[in-house]
A and B are shown apart, each in its own frame.
Chain A
Amino acid sequence: DVKVTQSSRYLVKRTGEKVFLECVQDMDHENMFWYRQDPGLGLRLIYFSYDVKMKEKGDIPEGYSVSREKKERFSLILESASTNQTSMYLCASSLNSGFTYEQYFGPGTRLTVT
């Protein structure tokens, strides 16, 4: 079974702090994704990566950056956290073979910025 893990289930940070969210997958998937989930808005893509050191902006990249130094690990960075970044953050991974395969999700990190 694919396993996607996220470093924290709950996180509380102060405004202006630099925040790192870590995601690790164990199935050698090429693609990894970061979403944020807010009530009534569904899942919105922040960034995705299709290979080590490669990244693409999603729909809402402002205020975020990402890092993928190893195939299994994809980090989301909030350079200076703000209260409007309080949200649930979901990481996902999938195969990449020219088709769009299903994504496998981690349990999520609920981030609160005060």
Chain B
Amino acid sequence: AQSVTQPDIHITVSEGASLELRCNYSYGATPYLFWYVQSPGQGLQLLLKYFSGDTLVQGIKGFEAEFKRSQSSFNLRKPSVHWSDAAEYFCAVGLTGNQFYFGTGTSLTVIP
């Protein structure tokens, strides 16, 4: 079945530590890939997107993500986490025909 998987439901990191959030998808063709962030009680904000080209994409707030076709992955990274990064993160896949699928999210806690 087609799916977007975020294997980590919850992650806790110390402020200043590096972060990697995992995302895997299972679709036949290379989809369009997105990461969104949702602060408590808010809507989703786009962090970055991958359509084609360079497999390492830069986003807002110091985040980046790397597309690895062989692993069907699009992991989100940040070298040094700030307390304000505590939020829920969603990976999403866009297919032709305006089909859009979200993972179930990873909740990030940042400890001082």
Interface of A toward B, CB cutoff 8 Å: 4, 31, 33, 40-43, 45, 48, 50, 90, 92, 94, 96, 98-108, 110
- A102–B34 touching, CB < 8 Å: yes
Q: A106: which of B43, B46, B51, B96 is its contact (CB, 8 Å)? A: B43
Q: Decide yes or no whether B44 CB sits under 8 A from chain A.
A: yes
* Number of residue pairs spanning A and B whose beta carbons lie under 8 angstroms apart: 55
> Which one of B11-19, B69-77, B101-109 is at the A interface?
B101-109
A42 x B90 contact (CB < 8 A): yes
Contacts of A31 in B (CB 8 A): 98
On chain B, the residues within 8 Å of A42 by CB distance are 90, 102-105
| Bound Cα distance from A4 to B27, whole angstroms | 29
Q: How far is the CA of A107 from the CA of B42 in the complex (A)?
A: 5
Residue of A33, A40, A42, A90 with most chain B CB atoms under a 10 A cut-off: A42
